[in-house]
Structure 1
Amino acid sequence: MRKNTSGPRFKALLEAANITTTGFAKFWGTEAQNVHNWYTRGVPAYRLEEVARLLSVNSDWLKTGEGTKESPRLQNASNGDTFDAQAIRGVYTVIDPNDIDLVFFKETPLSNGSGKTHVIQDPDQSIRLLRAQLDQLEVRHSDAICAQMIGNSMAERIEDGSIVAIDRGLTQVVDGEIYAIEHDGMLRIKYLHRMPGNGLRMRSHNSAEYPDEVFRPAQIEEQRIHILGWVFWWSTLSKRRPVVPFL
């Protein structure tokens, strides 16, 4: 495994974009000391993709210094206190003062021909939500993403094809809440429940067709079950248009 030496490159990117440690920490929603620690310890592995996307660089280059590096596009806004959201579209975009444009993730086949899938960002799609809706639920804007419900396992609550919004900042399981999960590259939307011994129960709303699934810790690791975040919003269209009588 290649060593994470991202600290100096991360620091240099901020300096090149004229972003202070305090400014980045405020945008990220953390303490300045945490960001300062990344300069020496490196950006945490679970944050590398997000930070690289935010700073418009290749995550492999950020981690190791190898491969292609793109020019950073993150800049300070004119007030010196927040960032120009249009310059960081990879995280979220402010369309107007009341709206947030969230990035869209999708399940797509791997390019190696294995028939397996993985969950990646779709740069051609985004979903607009009201800023007030996120703020009301204390969802940090940069943690919010969208995806599409696939299948009828959550019908009648979340129909096939519905768009869901996911808070990546809440991955701790609260029994009975709905979460987005990446399960060996497959995107799944389920109720989650904790089980004794750090196990996990997945439950479908359409329980008649989709019985509960229980996973032991070893199975969670073997099957690469990763909680993407809490599902806090979804759109569901009616299955049919009503027929107006007497016409």
Structure 2
Amino acid sequence: MSEKTPDVGIGGRVKARRDDLGLTQTDLAKLVGMTQQAVTSIENGETKNPRKLLELAQALHCSPQWLKTGVQDSNAIPLTGVELWDDESPVGNDDVYLPFFKEVELAAGGGRVVELDSTGNKLKFSLRSLRNLGVKPENAACMTVWGNSMEPVIPDGATVGVDTGFVDIKDGEIYAIDHEGMARVKCLYRIPGGGIRLKSFNSDEHPDEKYTGEDANKIRVIGFVFWYAVSRKKH
């Protein structure tokens, strides 16, 4: 894929990637968990903001940003080889085991109380992939996101990887934050005078939040979200 493609819309990009990968509409529908008719609707331009954008991007081996806008995120690096791991799993030379805080609720909506309890669960990552991302294993952890404010990019129930070693705010990047005892995932922007703006992808339901002065000081950046993934149950 090039850095920027002609503006053929999300439907044109979905079809182009599907054709590149040799997939039929039925094949893609099965990979994403939707009907073939739903894929047709997207490719015909009838559905312009599909809820399963992340799943489509994963199935088509591209970024959600490129699918939605046609502009590739130059900082995006594919991260592969992620597995759930426990004490019975074999250890490889390139394996890194990040704590997986299943009970932590990183709220992408109104917020929930943070409860740090990893219960020994871990996710296995490739050390090489983490190095490519500039993430030190000792600074990384995985957590679950709840709420719909970051959909369709990070849907309710998604797992995110957080780099606690990177807390400096770069405008527009995604971070996990501690907001007065609530763990949340938001796009952050700096406001002159030390303020901070929290932005959600689902801005129709969750408008921007601006904090200045003492209110801004109540927000602590936990770390940079360097990876996210979602799994689905069969219905």
1:144 and 2:170 correspond? no
Q: Secondary structure at the match of 2:146?
A: coil
What TM-score do the two structures reach when normalised by structure 2? 0.55
What is the match of residue 173 of structure 1?
169
Change in 2 beyond 3 A, CA 1:208/1:240: farther
- Report the counterpart of residue 228 of structure 1 in structure 2: 222
- Which structure has the larger Rg? 1
Deviation (angstroms), 1:184: 1.5
Distance 2:115 2:179 in 1: 10
* Displacement of 1:120: 1.5
Residues 43-69 of structure 1: CA deviation (Å, up to 9, x unaligned): xxxxxxxxxxxxxxxxxxxxxxxxxxx
Q: Structure with the greater relative contact order (CA < 8 A, sep ≥ 6): 1 or 2? A: 2
Listed one character per residue, the Cα deviations across residues 158-185 of structure 1 (whole Å, up to 9, x for unaligned) are 1111110000110000001000011111
Gaps of 5+ in 2: 1-85, 106-111
Q: Say whether the 8 Å CA contact 1:159–1:237 is kept in structure 2.
A: no
Determine helix, strand or coil for the equivalent of 1:103.
strand
Give the counterpart letter for 2:104 in structure 1.
Answer: E
Query: Identity, % of aligned pairs?
Result: 36
C-alpha distance after superposition, 1:187-239 (max 9, x if no partner): 11110000010100000011111000011131023xx3211000000002368
Q: 1:131 to 1:178 in 2, by over 3 A?
A: same
Given that residues 103 and 123 in structure 1 are in contact (C-alpha distance below 8 angstroms), is that contact kept between their aligned partners in structure 2?
A: no
SS of 2:206 mapped into structure 1: coil
Asked if residue 212 in structure 1 is aligned to residue 208 in structure 2, the reply is yes
CA displacement 1:3-47 (0-9 Å, x = unmatched): xxxxxxxxxxxxxxxxxxxxxxxxxxxxxxxxxxxxxxxxxxxxx
Asked if the contact 1:165/1:233 (under 8 Å) is kept, the reply is yes
Distance in 1 separating the partners of 2:144 and 2:118 = 11
Deviation (angstroms), 1:132: 1.5
What is the correspondence of 1:1-247 to structure 2 with a 5 Å cutoff? 95-105=91-101, 106-107=103-104, 117-221=113-217, 224-237=218-231
User: How far off is 1:240 after superposition?
Assistant: 7.2
Using structure 1 for the length normalisation, give the TM-score: 0.52
Aligned-residue CA RMSD in angstroms? 2.5
In the TM superposition, what is the alpha-carbon distance from 1:125 to its structure 2 partner?
2.1
Q: Please state whether the residue corresponding to 1:134 is helix, strand or coil.
A: helix
Q: CA deviation at 1:119?
A: 4.0
Instruction: Extract unaligned runs of 5+ from structure 1.
Output: 1-88, 109-115, 242-247
